[in-house]
Structure 1
Amino acid sequence: MTGQTEGPMNRRNLHERLRDQIGQDIVAGRLAAGTIIKAEDLRAGYDVSLSVVREVVRVLESLGMLRPVRRVGLVVLAMDEWMLLDPLVIRWRMTQAPARQLRSLTELRVAIEPEAAGLAAQHAPAEAAEEIMRLAARMRSTGRNGDVESFLEADVAFHRAVLGAGGNELFAAFDTVIGEILAGRTGAGLMPQYPHPDALQWHFDVADAIGRQQSGRAKEAMYKIVAKADDEMSGVWADEPRGPRR
């Protein structure tokens, strides 16, 4: 970062790079809980202005990762203070601690998404149900062609649509988390180029059940989807201990 000017675009790049670097250092434990950071040290170390440092610190404070202490500096906080479902924190953990992050998020999906599919079958407007079916068809087409990028886009849109179709605002707010989970899985090379035919069919089954207002069937098909994802990735976290570690 050294020697860079701070035009509007470059300032944003400096902000994002410094934010991501510090966030990843905290997630990875290179900046352990209790560590004291000085804003001036960040300014000098990364050769950026104090205004950029302050912007980054505000973001990390809002995520529960740093706390300013008067006359002391910025204190790094433990993981139980973090906003763990914020997309930035998920992304940093996916980069620095992928096994534990994937396990936690996949287990959360297993708990949430079948219920969301059941609610969608009960409450989805007709146009939402039709869009979910279109996305299932798009997943089948792109999956069969081995188009990983387009399949991911359709997969994310499908699960977001299901989460939002049931009229529960908290399930709907989970959609950004789903996007990070699926993108992280693909980025980690854990998504096959050609999805399993059963998985493609189960997405169709979810869509069809929602369209027919069959709540139990929608829940069952969605459970098959997330349970298969759990099973396919379980080897990634097989040796990962549970507990307070990052």
Structure 2
Amino acid sequence: MEFLNWVRGPGLEYATVIFLVGIFMRFIEMWLIGRKPDLSRPRASASRAGWRAVWRRSLPSEGLMKNSPLVLIAGYVFHIGFLLVLLFFIPHIQFFKDVLGFGWAGLPSPVIDFLSILTIAALVALLVHRLVDPVRRFLSTSQDYIAWVVTTLPVVTGYMAMHMDVVPYTTMLALHILSVEILMVVFPFTKLMHAFTFAVSRYYNGAAMGRKGVQL
């Protein structure tokens, strides 16, 4: 019980501070890097091309669907499933309500269970593909595997806390919360940060290409 109280109290507070400060520092870092002014005459609207890039690069790529359908499908399943479980599991909503002061309708537990299993299966499939594909294995770094572990653990421990009696419920719940806090601490300093920066980077690249007259 003391472990559960710690992860619910000081542990969560420390993780939240590191998470928010880390994200703030990363954005400040990107802003300080800046970019050299482009003195050339623009050939097209940079802003329009930037927003077009954000939209088009969020859609499935024809080449990826043809060459690596597993990566594409599992990637979408993982991202959507993780987000739905995070935002629409009723105990999660209660937590957000306690923090934000308002909540929203949740999904039925069987639906959350199904999404959790799909998410875990997609994450395992992506890991196996990374390990067996020689190109992806060569390009992978320790950070890729760390990101996989800290992303997978909250889903697995959350499902185990609700459905498996491997250890007492309070211990499993504490481990679940701890895994979430580890994810929060690691998040700003790994590739997971792309969850906040993907739109910015896509807009920046699209705007730069659009200004040069490149068709996106």
Q: TM-score range by the shorter chain?
A: under 0.3
Higher relative contact order, structure no. (Cα contacts within 8 Å, ≥ 6 residues apart): 2
**Structure having the larger proportion of residues in helix:** 2
Whose strand fraction is larger, Structure 1's or Structure 2's? 1
**TM-score, scaled to structure 1:** 0.24
